[in-house]
Amino acid sequence: MPKKHNPLNLNPLQLRTLTLLQALAELPEHAKPADEPGAMAIANLSHPHGNHFHLGPYVVAARDASGLSNEAVWVVLERKGLIQSMFPLGCVLRAAGRAYDTGLKSQILHGTDH
């Protein structure tokens, strides 16, 4: 039987937010290893300026990042075991959250030339 896409039934906003947290976990200026095996502590969240913001080598549309400032999204991600929330300061992205395939990376993380 094939693997179910989005087995936790995350909504689009939750999926976009998790995708951004996964990208933040790969950037040393935003993340460091947490005490929990495979988890990353994320802080120093980026904020949109105008209609976009920069996330390491990526540019992200502000509309795709609204979940970073939405506590309800963080509550769901925590309840589903993907993060440990410290809203609004940051979170611990658990191993399950790092491994979850949102299918959105190429859609919301755009390369930049500056």
| Structural domains for the chain | 12-111 (1.10.10)
User: What is the pTM assigned to this prediction?
Assistant: 0.94
How do strand 40-42 and strand 83-86 relate by DSSP bridges?
A: unpaired
Q: What distance in Å separates the CA atoms of residue 43 and residue 90, rounded to the nearest whole number?
A: 5
DSSP 49: B
Distance, in Å, from the CA atom of 20 to the CA atom of 100, rounded to the nearest integer, reads: 12
pLDDT in tens, 47-81: 778 899 899 999 999 999 999 999 999 999 999 99
pLDDT at 3: 66
Q: Which tokens hold the place of 18?
A: 């998790």
